[in-house]
Amino acid sequence: MKRTIPLVITFIVGMIVLAEPFVVSWRYKYVYTLIKDWGIVLIAGAYVMGLVNLLQLNVPIIARRGPDWPYKVFLILGLVVTMVAGFWAGPTRSDRGTFFEFISTFIFDPLNATMFSLLAFFIASAAFRAFRARNLDATLLLLTAMFVMFARIPLGETVSQAVFGGPYLQDLMNWILDVPNTAAKRAILIGAALGAVSTGLRVILGLDRSHLGS
């Protein structure tokens, strides 16, 4: 029963959510809205569980001076200070001049930008490995990437004006980005959507029971 009841609830709730766009009954919409509201409550509970889990993982390491314990101290302090600032500011915590806004603008945003800027080195490394002309497809990818980057910079605009008498290189670059690139992105998104639908159906039908710990 511990596994059967969660599977039955998952199936019923999943089918109600899937059928919502095709049903016009107001009673059905009421049930769907009720399920969504409960989903918001469960998400809020998940945040609380995440907070408890964060403390359970890091506080013992700090207590026994485990690996990287000073960083975990800053993590806990940042958590506590941010929560206090958010509760103290109340609904106006996003207004300019509050301590919460100061934390967001001058601490969180620079740290966030730093993390994303570090990704540039990993992207450059991955691009270097991907753009090796080992076969015809990789060669086309390399040439196209070099052309797009060249057409993007001011030197490309200058060369286009001097050689062709107009922004023809930029027009070709925009065509590459708007047509072949968009088509490839849509194909990837369609594949990802089909994968998400397949995973959702497996969970609803009880074929995938990983959420039950199996």
Q: What is the pLDDT of residue 208?
A: 75
Q: What is the pLDDT of residue 96?
A: 58
Q: What is the pLDDT of residue 183?
A: 94
Q: What is the pLDDT of residue 30?
A: 92
Q: What is the pLDDT of residue 97?
A: 62
Whether 157 and 170 have beta carbons less than 8 Å apart is answered as yes
d(CA 176, CA 78): 45
Report how far apart, in Å, the C-alpha atoms of 165 and of each of 145, 154, 172 are: 23, 15, 14
Q: What is the pLDDT of residue 95?
A: 53
Q: What is the pLDDT of residue 92?
A: 55
Q: What is the mean pLDDT of each run of 10 residues along the chain (214 residues)?
A: 80 87 88 91 91 91 89 91 79 62 85 87 78 78 87 90 88 93 94 90 80 65
Q: What is the pLDDT of residue 89?
A: 66
Sign of the Cα torsion 5, 7, 10, 15 reads: negative
